[in-house]
Structure 1
């Protein structure tokens, strides 16, 4: 089975995913720039802190009675500090430190400038001709936390914008493809026999030439089919008069001929002419079925049409026809009365021809416009049942026929957007043959 895809879905998802990907790339690039700027700001804060504390520390150490002692600076109130510092001499002895400073974080000997360990970023500076050193340390997790917050600040709007973008893109694509969808529905709604031009306004420039080409193709096909149907109908019509005249002459010859081979031959010619006349009639019906006009502009009452056709057959046939009508008085459909008459006559004729002679034909109509024609008889093999609606295919019977009856029925059913089903044995029975036809329902106001 050939797989298909939705252009609307592909455009909607593609545009949304593409925009999301571009947003993510832009976000990552922006985040890298923000992280670089944050590192520069934090490094500047480290350097500025060291430059401000170092003169104060030198002054404090110089004014001590015992300059070599270690002094821990107390905090005014407890708070979370990200920076800690040590003031040491050139030998590494601690002269002053912040209240939460951990000497293990710093190197054994003071280092000027920036340096980085596994968990800390450090900056060192010196004074008094490199006799007093200060080092300020900052945890790297502080910087990473700030970078993560910056990344989240850039990403969280994307979580809101993705569904909004998907919805907006979907609506835009749907509005843009609205005329294309209308064109699609117009094509899908067509019946088999409808070859009129497909008219949809405001098609995109990329689709409009295709629609014009389809309409030109439909016009060429319509003309070709009309020529074929016209030839079939005209040929069958023109054959009627000479066939009738010839049949009359043969019947007269049969009456005037003496008993013997000549009279027998005249009888065979008469039978052949009758078969030819029936074939001509079937060809005219087939031309009608393949042509337009199978649907009526106004709703038609199937109950009255069905009763009329069945009464007509009852007068022309000695076989019993049982008619079952729905409980409601009227069942309306959009099928053309002439097309319905041709369909029903072929179904009844087929049932009479191939059904058991001693059993009645059942014709049923439901309130859902389901037409059922059932005849008794042997079960039709599945291999034959599948091909009975093809042209010039006949069932197993000694009766003469053209093999066009069910083909005409199927053509009409397709032309009115109906459905046909052949069953053998008939439903809820052990034998027989049943034809089911679902006709299009119509509603009547009032």
Structure 2
């Protein structure tokens, strides 16, 4: 799944790109204006040059003696000229020319005023009833060079403006979205069971209604979950007393009843009541697992809690549980000891009930906070394995049970921020069933 682009990145890139496009548009418009003004300035200079040279040329031609012949005008420095000119008479004969003038760029019968060719801008003027005509030429490359330099002067600041504007926009957007980022961190830091309102000050006007709607939704969800948990816990608690009384009456009835069908029926009723009592206990555990109080105020060491829990089970399970503890002195995580006891009880009970009774149950804890419970027996099909953490789902339908053990374990593990994985066959084996719980490790507090 493609990761969405952050609002900060969108605004930074969008504003920088928009400002760059506006700068380019303004540069293009400015360049057109500058180019027009340069053309007017160069045309004015071309016309002024012709108006200054023409009277001098007429005076020089009028003072000549003998036939009129073309003369080159000498210069102080023989180099290429920006402006070249020809002076002709009414019949088109050349009377005077600049030293660098090329005849092919001039027309034989020039038109008064400005004309443009592929490479030159020409201006023609005359005096004395067109008896003397001057035509002056300027290379267009000169104008194009000036236009390019003007355009470059406008674009060069853009190279520095783009990174500066991107950095400035990014910083401004980040400062503007500080409250939004704080709101996101507050949401991400929430645990699974934390449904209290999220309080973040000075949210933008566009985000504040959304935050209020989220808080209202959390409040409604909290009340609904509390009502469900309260009903589950109260129902299970209220059933314990009448169930115990009924179970005692059934046991007394079995003792007083004669041998025969009545004894068999009483035994079946006793077994059903025992299952109902276990279900009531599981419902109370589920209510605790889905409620609060799963986290401890300070990190708890799992090694003594695990050793004590396994020792209690081995007293009544014919020592079928093999425990392997890490070499580390402490493995700490923030879980309530009672919640850990419920978790361990359900995992071991599940392994003993559904595993091969001829094989032991292996319980181990690693230094990185990984708890493993492995039992023997045939492998569980993959489609059933995916559903075992759901409520009232059992792997072996022939074995009695409520189907809540792994659901309770899943709720507790998620409530403390851990991860629960199921595997069948177990790791390194061809059969069996493995439950792996990865607890988030924490550094123990100093006394």
Identify the TM-score tier after normalising by the shorter chain.
Answer: over 0.9
Moved over 3 A (4+): 1-5
* 8 A contact 1:84–1:138 mirrored in 2: yes
CA displacement 1:253-289 (0-9 Å, x = unmatched): 1112111111111111111111000000000000001
Alpha-carbon distance in structure 1 between the residues aligned to 2:146 and 2:55: 30
Query: More deviation in 71-80 or 177-186?
Result: 71-80
CA displacement 1:225-264 (0-9 Å, x = unmatched): 1011011001101111111111111111111211111111
Which residue number in structure 2 is paired with residue 282 of structure 1? 282
CA displacement 1:129-156 (0-9 Å, x = unmatched): 3211111100112111111111111111
Question: Secondary structure of the equivalent of 1:213?
Answer: helix
Which residue number in structure 2 is paired with residue 199 of structure 1? 199
* 8 A contact 2:85–2:97 mirrored in 1: yes
Alpha-carbon distance in structure 2 between the residues aligned to 1:311 and 1:32: 91
Which residue number in structure 2 is paired with residue 272 of structure 1? 272
TM-score (norm 1): 0.97
Which residue number in structure 2 is paired with residue 186 of structure 1? 186
Alpha-carbon distance in structure 2 between the residues aligned to 1:114 and 1:399: 108
Which residue number in structure 2 is paired with residue 118 of structure 1? 118
**CA-atom RMSD in angstroms:** 1.4
Residue 397 of structure 1 deviates from its aligned partner by 5.3
CA displacement 1:340-397 (0-9 Å, x = unmatched): 1111110000000011111111111111111100001101111111111110000125
* 8 A contact 1:335–1:440 mirrored in 2: no
Alpha-carbon distance in structure 1 between the residues aligned to 2:2 and 2:213: 24
- Residue 261 to residue 51, structure 1, CA distance change in 2 (3 Å): same
Which residue number in structure 2 is paired with residue 74 of structure 1? 74
Question: Secondary structure of the equivalent of 1:196?
Answer: coil
Which residue number in structure 1 is paired with residue 407 of structure 2? 407
**1:109 aligned onto 2:109:** yes
Long gaps (5+) in structure 2: none
TM-score (norm 2): 0.97
* 8 A contact 1:374–1:435 mirrored in 2: yes
Question: Secondary structure of the equivalent of 1:297?
Answer: coil
* 8 A contact 2:298–2:445 mirrored in 1: no
* 8 A contact 1:389–1:407 mirrored in 2: yes
* 8 A contact 1:120–1:137 mirrored in 2: yes
- Residue 2 to residue 85, structure 1, CA distance change in 2 (3 Å): closer
Which residue number in structure 1 is paired with residue 246 of structure 2? 246
Query: More deviation in 186-195 or 151-160?
Result: 186-195
Alpha-carbon distance in structure 2 between the residues aligned to 1:18 and 1:238: 68
CA displacement 1:101-139 (0-9 Å, x = unmatched): 001101111332111112111111112232111111001
Long gaps (5+) in structure 1: none
Which residue number in structure 2 is paired with residue 37 of structure 1? 37
